Amino acid sequence: MYDVIILGSGPAGLTAAIYCGRANKNTLVLAGNSLGGQTGEIAKLENYPGWQGSGMELIQFMKKQAESFGSKIKFTAAQNITTKEDGSFSVVCDNGEILESKTLILSTGASARKLEIDGAKELFGKGVSYCATCDGFFYSGKDVIVIGGGNSALNDALYLADLAKTVKIVYRKSEFTRAEAILRERVASKENIECVYNTELQSIKPTSEDRLIATTTKDESIICDGVFVAIGHEANTDYLSEDIKRDEMGRIIKESLPEGMFVAGDVMSGIKMQIATAVGTGCTAGMDAIAYLNSKE
């Protein structure tokens, strides 16, 4: 029986693990299949105070810090959760293991929203990608498209511009209203980035030359080598029962959680999806779990 099981190994979960470990609570982090969530995919992290480096470097630092206080990391994910009669929780993992804990902290984050057009699913991993830092290397000197208009899309375009021959950002609106000004300025200054506004992709098909042809809502065709998708995120909550309420983005509404269960990070409703806010809510969730456990002693 653990004191605390934390679902998710991003900044929120690892921050909670640091606090719970320092409070001498028997703490386990279920990291899923890979460490760090979305943060681990950031090539250059600029907007987290006090840090210069990649997202994965930050995650590795936080992991070591959590482990130094006794928190354990296990690479498996929760499949479902049940509340036991005594108020503790049973977690069934995807490796078949069943774990028990007095408290749970849900910090499973969010995943990239999939592009729902003809060819996108079929060509995933064959020209369609949801991770520029993972797959950008394969498109060195080639022509690529980025779909989206927020910070993630513009960051992806800037990253790819240093690798690819050309980058086209295809966006359904007339301007990048959701992206930070500094990113808009950097995109505008890059000679090999072109912005295609008021446009959406309708389909993606392979060509006979092992390239892609993307058709648009303007009845135009764009020949490219890769399509990178950055159109938002959906909360990772498939392991939860329907009695836990979610908002329109699928994120957890804190007030619907049972006693002893806490939430932090991008999976939590009502917060900005930033590393700084994830760390803050991870701190809060960790301290709330500690106070709950202490009240039961």
> Which pLDDT value is given to residue 26?
98
4-36 tens-digit pLDDT: 999 999 999 999 999 999 999 999 999 998 899
pLDDT at residue number 273: 86
pLDDT recorded at residue 290 = 98
**If DSSP codes are grouped into helix, strand and coil, which group holds residue 158?**
helix
Alpha-helical regions (H) of the chain: 11-22, 55-68, 132-135, 151-161, 181-189, 275-296
Q: Which of 147, 149, 225, 138 lies closest to 184 in space, CA to CA?
A: 149
Choose, from 134, 162, 238, 247, the residue flagged as catalytic: 134
In angstroms, the CA 80 to CA 46 distance is: 36
Active site residue 195: no
| Residue range 141-165, pLDDT digits in tens | 999 999 999 998 999 999 999 999 9
> Average model confidence (pLDDT) for the chain?
94
pLDDT surpassing 90 at residue 280: yes
224: annotated active-site residue: no
State the pLDDT confidence band at 233, using cuts at 50, 70 and 90: confident
Residue 206: band (very low, low, confident or very high) from pLDDT cuts 50, 70, 90: very high
pLDDT band at 254 (very low <50, low <70, confident <90, very high): very high
The CA distance from 162 to 284, in Å, is 39
Instruction: Give the pLDDT score at 249.
Output: 83
Closest CA to 8 of 281, 295, 256: 281
pLDDT classification of 116: cutoffs 50, 70, 90 = very high
Q: Is 151 helix (H, G, I), strand (E, B) or coil?
A: helix
pLDDT top residue among 22 and 208? 22
Contact indicator for 190, 222 with CB cutoff of 8 Å:
no
How many CB atoms lie under 10 A from the CB of residue 98? 9
- Examine the pLDDT at 199 and tell me if it is beyond 90: yes
pLDDT confidence of residue 137: 92
**CA distance readout (Å), 256 to 100, 245, 293:** 21, 6, 20
Q: Mean pLDDT over residues 126-154, rounded?
A: 93
Tell me, what's the pLDDT at 133?
A: 83
Among residues 3, 86, 118, 131, the one annotated as catalytic is 131
The pLDDT score that the predictor gives to residue 232 is 85
Q: Please say if the pLDDT value at position 45 is more than 90.
A: no
Composition of the chain by helix, strand, coil, percent to 5: 30, 30, 40
Whether 131 is catalytic is yes
Confidence band (pLDDT; 50, 70, 90) for 185? very high
pTM score, whole prediction: 0.81
